[in-house]
Amino acid sequence: MQFSANLGFLWSELTLPDAIRAAKAAGFDAVECHWPYDFDSAEVKAALAETDLPMLGLNTARGDVSAGDNGLSALPERIPEARAAIDQALAYATEIGAHNIHVMAGFAQGDKAHRVFVENLDYACDRAAPAGISILIEPLNRYDAPGYFLQTTAQATAIMAEVGAANLKLMFDCYHVQLMEGDLTHKLAQLQDRIGHIQFASVPDRGAPDHGEINFDHVFRVVKELGFLMPLGAEYKPEGATGDTLAWLQKAQQI
State the DSSP string of 11-60: TTTS-HHHHHHHHHHHT-SEEE-S--TTS-HHHHHHHHHHHT--B-EEE-
Query: In the annotation, is 138 catalytic?
Result: yes
Report the pLDDT averaged over residues 201-227.
Answer: 97
Residue in 13, 119, 138, 239 annotated catalytic: 138
For residue 75, the model assigns a pLDDT of: 98
User: How far is residue 98's CA from residue 120's CA, in Å, rounded to a whole number?
Assistant: 20
176, 184 Cβ separation under 8 angstroms: no
pLDDT in tens, 58-107: 999 999 999 999 999 999 999 999 999 999 999 999 999 999 999 999 99
Query: In the annotation, is 119 catalytic?
Result: no
Residue 80 CB coordination number (10 Å): 9
Residue in 43, 50, 181, 235 annotated catalytic: 235
Coil/strand/helix, residue 129: helix
pLDDT in tens, 8-50: 999 999 999 999 999 999 999 999 999 999 999 999 999 999 9
pTM: 0.97
CATH of 3-253, one of 1.10.10.410, 3.30.360.10, 3.20.20.150, 3.40.1160.10: 3.20.20.150
63, 69 Cβ separation under 8 angstroms: yes
pLDDT in tens, 142-197: 999 999 999 999 999 999 999 999 999 999 999 999 999 999 999 999 999 999 99
